[in-house]
Amino acid sequence: MELTVLGASPALPNPGGASAGYLLQQGGTSLLVDCGHGVVSVLRTVIDVRDLSAVIISHMHPDHYFDLVPLAYAYFFDQLPPVPLHLPPDGLPVLQAVERAVGLDEGFFARIFDVRPYQPEHPLTIGPLTVRFAPTKHFVPAYAMRFHNGTGRELVYTSDTAYSQAVVDLAQGASVGVFESAVLRYQRDAERQGHLDARTAGAMARQADVGMLVVTHYPSADADSVAREAGDAFGKPVILAREGERITV
């Protein structure tokens, strides 16, 4: 399984970067995981859009789905057959609201994409990949994902979350963990906490005993401290995700 980071930035893209987006490739299957702003531009440097097998979205925050608009134009202009779009259960009404807000025809997304809302309580099969979900602790319903390819190599992506035992459980023993670190300082007592800092991301990954930790969704201005703090808590060096980086799982 090959992971290509398409977007390692948080909601405010790092200079020259893109928000959340990852390409997972296994055999002939190319799965786009999240599609935040700027991701389609980077995706096009890696593969032809027509070679995408499916798209899956972790939650309906703009930095994880806004580039479905330009992605839809790629399919619209070239009249490509609909690509499966796996949305969280609350996803389609959000896209319908976007259609209205930006003046697209009603049903635009449902015509361009083969919209398939997933049920997070059940595993999902996409080509050779099986996806299992866990609800994260975030501001809207969001789902961490664990991807199996049938060989025992497994990747876990936290999406956006504060500390969550459910996410630790999902990540247990995974070969690679892609953990977010969108905030600089985690406030355990804060009533509304929806993200990890580097130290907490590293501690969660250590608790889950993941083989390799990739830290993502972080402000690049703080890259040095993110790497140091996540690495200290994880107990091993970590990889900082960067747009275009390829990692073999």
Measured from the CB atom, the residue of 53 and 158 that comes closer to Zn ion is 158
Q: How far apart are CA 119 and CA 136, in angstroms?
A: 15
Measured from the CB atom, the residue of 37 and 61 that comes closer to Zn ion is 61
Tokens, residue 8: 């390692």
Interactions with Zn ion, residue window 157-186 (CB under 5 A): 160
Residue showing tokens 């893209």: 13
Among 34, 63, 99, 154, binds Zn ion (CB under 5 A): 63
Closest separation between CB of residue 142 and Zn ion, Å? 6
Listed ranges 56-64, 198-206, 224-232, 236-244: which one lies at the site for Zn ion (CB under 5 A) = 56-64
Contact at 8 Å (CB) between 17 and 38?
yes
Residue showing tokens 């807000």: 101
Nearest partner of 24 among 76, 90, 86, 69, judged by Cα: 86
Closest separation between CB of residue 176 and Zn ion, Å? 19
Closest separation between CB of residue 175 and Zn ion, Å? 23
Measured from the CB atom, the residue of 61 and 199 that comes closer to Zn ion is 61
Interactions with Zn ion, residue window 93-112 (CB under 5 A): none
Nearest partner of 120 among 155, 170, 71, judged by Cα: 170
Contact at 8 Å (CB) between 78 and 41?
no
Among 37, 61, 132, 146, binds Zn ion (CB under 5 A): 61
Q: Per rule CB under 5 A, is residue 37 in the interface with Zn ion?
A: no
Closest separation between CB of residue 181 and Zn ion, Å? 11
Contact at 8 Å (CB) between 135 and 168?
no
3-class DSSP assignment, residue 20: coil
Listed ranges 25-33, 38-46, 58-66, 72-80: which one lies at the site for Zn ion (CB under 5 A) = 58-66
Nearest partner of 133 among 117, 113, 115, judged by Cα: 117
Listed ranges 55-63, 126-134, 150-158, 197-205: which one lies at the site for Zn ion (CB under 5 A) = 55-63
List contacts with Zn ion (CB under 5 A).
Answer: 61, 63, 160
